[in-house]
Amino acid sequence: MRRPNAVRTKTGRRFTLIELLVVIAIIAILAGILMPALQQARERARSINCLGNARELGRVYLFYSDDYDNYLPCLDNMGGDGAVNSSGETVSGKTWLNDIVKKYLGRLNASTEPYKLLFCPNETVTEDITTNYGLNYLIATENKTGIKTTRFKHHSKTAMLVENTGHLCYYCDVTNPGKTHAAGSSYGLNRAAFFRHNDRASVTFLDGHAEGVEKKKVPCRESFPDLSKDDLEYTLFNRGVMSKP
């Protein structure tokens, strides 16, 4: 007669229901222990991927600089708002970045096919975002005539690209409290540094190397809410130290 509440194994031994429940409980405990580790490993992989994107896009900008007399790309260098590019499109941050990506990375249509290089792997919205790696406004676009990279003395310490919420530029005196992509008149909030990876943001420096920089080491409004605008701007990280022309 078969015993109730038991399962026969291939060797003939029977497992009771209690034993099966114990095994299931052990598996659940092990899963609970392993899941955080797997999530951490997944986030670590995304962080490495993000850093690689920032480094590669930085190389593209430096290639551009080599080709254009040591100037970094910026809207004003390309004719300003209302200018028309070689494809007949009105020049904007989106179109000139696409032109650069197409020229140096061989993309045929970067506008209609969002290029993964331009976005952090953790980004879920790409339709209305130029890139997650903003070109430092203070060293590239604030000056209407541009600034040559050769004028900066400390390339390894001056930020060229800083991970942000989704804007072509990064600017230190901006915060984005919602940590989400802002649209309409609030679009400028997307220039704020965004620390997606365990309170670190991917940063590419003028010498081409990239680091995941801790929030407390980035002189920005979120990290230092009580500092003045001038104190934030005039740092080696944000504006760098320039020699005379």
pLDDT band of residue 112 (cuts 50, 70, 90) is low
Average pLDDT over residues 117-137: 83
On whether the CB atoms of residues 192 and 175 are closer than 8 A, the answer is yes
pLDDT band of residue 123 (cuts 50, 70, 90) is confident
CA of residue 213 relative to chain centroid, distance: 12
Least confidently predicted of 97-101, 108-112, 119-123, 174-178: 108-112
Least confidently predicted of 113-117, 156-160, 201-205, 206-210: 113-117
pTM of the predicted model over 0.85: no
Of 80 and 221, the one with more pLDDT: 221
pLDDT value of position 211: 95
On whether the CB atoms of residues 105 and 61 are closer than 8 A, the answer is no
pLDDT band of residue 5 (cuts 50, 70, 90) is low
Percent of the chain clearing pLDDT 90 (strictly above):
33
- Partners of 164 in beta bridges: 193
Q: Pull the structure tokens for residue 224.
A: 């230092």
Q: How many residues does the chain have?
A: 245
pLDDT value of position 1: 47
Least confidently predicted of 29-33, 157-161, 173-177: 29-33
Residue from 150, 158, 169 nearest 213 by CA: 158
Task: Tell me the domain boundaries of the chain.
Answer: 16-233
pLDDT value of position 128: 66
Average pLDDT over residues 184-191: 83
Of 3 and 20, the one with more pLDDT: 20
Least confidently predicted of 91-105, 133-147, 210-224: 91-105
pLDDT band of residue 127 (cuts 50, 70, 90) is low
On whether the CB atoms of residues 205 and 161 are closer than 8 A, the answer is no
pLDDT value of position 12: 55
Least confidently predicted of 124-128, 198-202, 205-209: 124-128
pLDDT value of position 15: 66
Contacts 24+ apart (CB under 8 A), 220-228: 220/172, 220/173, 220/174, 220/192, 220/193, 221/172, 221/173, 221/174, 221/175, 221/192, 222/175, 222/192, 222/193, 222/195, 223/193, 225/175
Average pLDDT, the chain: 80
Considering only CA atoms, give the Rg of the chain.
25
Residue 103 CA to residue 89 CA, distance in Å, equals 16
In the chain, at which residue ranges do the beta strands (DSSP E only) sit?
6-8, 14-16, 133-136, 159-163, 169-170, 200-205, 210-214
Average pLDDT over residues 145-150: 78
